[in-house]
Amino acid sequence: MSEYDEAIKLTGPDDTGRYTGRLSDDWAIGEAVNGGLIMALAATATASHSHASGGHTDPLTYSGVFLSPGSAGEITAHPQVLRTGRSMTTAQVRTTQQVDGVEVERTRALMTMGDLSRYAEPVLKAEPAPQMPPPEDCPGTEDAPPTPLTSSGFIQRFDIRLDPATLGWALGKPSGKGEMRGWIRLADQRDFDPVSLLLALDSFPPVAFDLGSTGWVPTVEFTGYVRANPAPGWLRMRLSTSTVSGGLLEEDAQIWDSTGRLVAHSRQLASARFPERSDADSVR
Amino acid sequence: MSEYDEAIKLTGPDDTGRYTGRLSDDWAIGEAVNGGLIMALAATATASHSHASGGHTDPLTYSGVFLSPGSAGEITAHPQVLRTGRSMTTAQVRTTQQVDGVEVERTRALMTMGDLSRYAEPVLKAEPAPQMPPPEDCPGTEDAPPTPLTSSGFIQRFDIRLDPATLGWALGKPSGKGEMRGWIRLADQRDFDPVSLLLALDSFPPVAFDLGSTGWVPTVEFTGYVRANPAPGWLRMRLSTSTVSGGLLEEDAQIWDSTGRLVAHSRQLASARFPERSDADSVR
């Protein structure tokens, strides 16, 4: 079983419709288990619940908030179907952990699910994948100076190769453009599927790093969209932002599969700290 | 009192924390009361509830689903604060109407609220407003051939002027680019505020019309972001889409105020029907 399948393994539902999984520090970044992994776990529980009630199972949209950081140990997912239509099912899903005997909510999200094979054709408009050097010519985590961040469990679960053209920030020279491109696959080369694309959307370093931010970049809200079943192999990913004001920025992620098809995209509002700049340094 | 303030007027909270308002066909489009108005009403109730519990009141993000179409008559908003932090408050809000004595859910959303004045400066990156002719040189609804749609109450509540460069679809010649630009203000010239920007984000004709769609374009999921307090006066708005596949498209809206500042943006996944095309007509 792949590392990812092990990480989202669930038991349930119990007689109240809840599913139980286990978070591990193998997926932690800094002090917290990565929110993208919790999204994938919650989406898996929701798909199972929807399937059991005759609904749809492919994630189309996931809009969520992170209420408190997840930690290693048992986690419970509480999916609830709100509406089942002919072509889509709408649901809510909460995740909780017990802390000192008290149930603490980690995430809450609204999801719509459908059948992605229905939306494959015709393609009336498409965004081409960005051009970049092949993975073997793009630096990976092992090429970065070791820091507490790069030794996090989460970082080890992926093989991420960043386009050298957008890597200045890692050398102390952020471009100020607010853009990052690169390749991604799981370290054990398990191929991505619609649910794990949600995890992939939140797996790159924050685009705020390309604007000079160096610290923690907490997510205010995250909405991910899965647009197609991904083909096997490397994914190409691009992060960008266009409005950065008062420490708030939107981070847009786009993912293309190995055939060049855009298969997922997301937007998150995030809060970042930026070093003080003189007007002359403005990158507006 | 402006038409908009009348439309979002609420009584409450009652002793269970619920707020009550009244929907009117003055804000209907086709058979349903516009979802953007219900968003603004729900956001108003949530801000009031948050304020009463010591939380923040400016909408930063609103991520929601539309579960059933709203109709004229009483509507109830059920806000619930999930987390109050130092700089932001996270909440959920549901709206319901009674149908034949049964409570039917209309919308459900997750919101984050904060204090927009905190996020005004510094601006590290900004997207300039699109260039277009002044409002007096852009056609309005009164210039369009009357249809059941243009005579909808909702359409009458706004003064919308579309850039002639993106108006081909209204003359039966959609450009296929998937873009629309124009000016917007409320018909009675009440200025926009952070909450009513959520309504504005959902007020233009669907961008799918510029790709040849002519029918109803239901929203699968909507996430709106308010980035700044809008200055008084006309707003400039731009709609675009980049991936249209199997009848699903994302519609991105951006709004700039009269000073040229981007004050709100949104993305919705929508479902549209497109006429059959031969390969030669493909706009891919």
Is B281's pLDDT higher than 60? no
* B136 backbone φψ class: left, alpha, beta (φ>0; ψ -120 to 50): alpha
Q: What tens digit of pLDDT does each residue of B86-141 get?
A: 999 999 999 999 999 999 999 999 999 999 999 999 999 999 999 999 999 999 98
Query: pTM (2 decimals)?
Result: 0.96
Q: A226 to chain B: nearest residue by CA? A: B269
Q: Which of A225, A228, A250 sits opposite B225 (nearest CB)?
A: A250
Contact B265 A282 (CB under 8 A): no
> What confidence tier does B149 reach under pLDDT thresholds 50, 70, 90?
confident
Average pLDDT over residues B43-62: 97
Q: How far apart are alpha carbons A204 and A221 in whole angstroms?
A: 17
Chunked into runs of 10 residues, chain A (284 residues) has average pLDDT values of 97 96 95 96 98 97 98 98 97 98 98 97 95 96 78 93 95 94 98 98 96 91 98 98 97 98 98 71 42
Mutate to test the interface with A, among B90, B124, B278, B284 (most CBs of A within 10 A): B124
Average pLDDT over residues B16-29: 97
Contact A249 B283 (CB under 8 A): no
pLDDT reported for residue A142: 83
- State percent of chain B over pLDDT 90: 89
Average pLDDT over residues B237-254: 97
**ipTM rounded to 2 decimals:** 0.95
> What confidence tier does B145 reach under pLDDT thresholds 50, 70, 90?
confident
Minimal Cα–Cα distance from A28 to chain B, Å?
A: 23
Q: Which of B61, B250, B284 sits opposite A124 (nearest CB)?
A: B284
pLDDT reported for residue B270: 97
CA A104 to chain centre: 22
What the block records as the tokens of A115 is 């059948």
Mutate to test the interface with A, among B62, B83, B245 (most CBs of A within 10 A): B245
Are the CB atoms for B109 and B130 separated by under 8 Å?
no
Are the CB atoms for A201 and A63 separated by under 8 Å?
no
Is B284's pLDDT higher than 70? no
> In whole angstroms, how large is the CA radius of gyration of chain B?
19
Contact B221 A249 (CB under 8 A): no
pLDDT reported for residue B277: 56
Q: B262 to chain A: nearest residue by CA? A: A243
A87 to chain B: which residues are within 8 Å by CB? Answer: 271
Contact A61 B228 (CB under 8 A): no
pLDDT reported for residue B256: 98
B246 to chain A: which residues are within 8 Å by CB? Answer: 118-123
pLDDT reported for residue A122: 94
pLDDT reported for residue A256: 98
Size of interface A-B (CB pairs under 8 A): 181
pLDDT reported for residue B275: 84
Is B55's pLDDT higher than 90? yes
Q: What tens digit of pLDDT does each residue of B159-196 get?
A: 999 999 999 999 899 999 999 999 999 999 999 999 99
Is B152's pLDDT higher than 50? yes
Minimal Cα–Cα distance from B227 to chain A, Å?
A: 8
Instruction: Dump the DSSP string for B173-240.
Output: ---SS-EEEEEEEETT-PPP-HHHHHHHHT-SPPGGGGGT--S---EEEEEEEE-SPPPSS-EEEEEE
Q: B247 to chain A: nearest residue by CA? A: A119
pLDDT reported for residue A117: 97
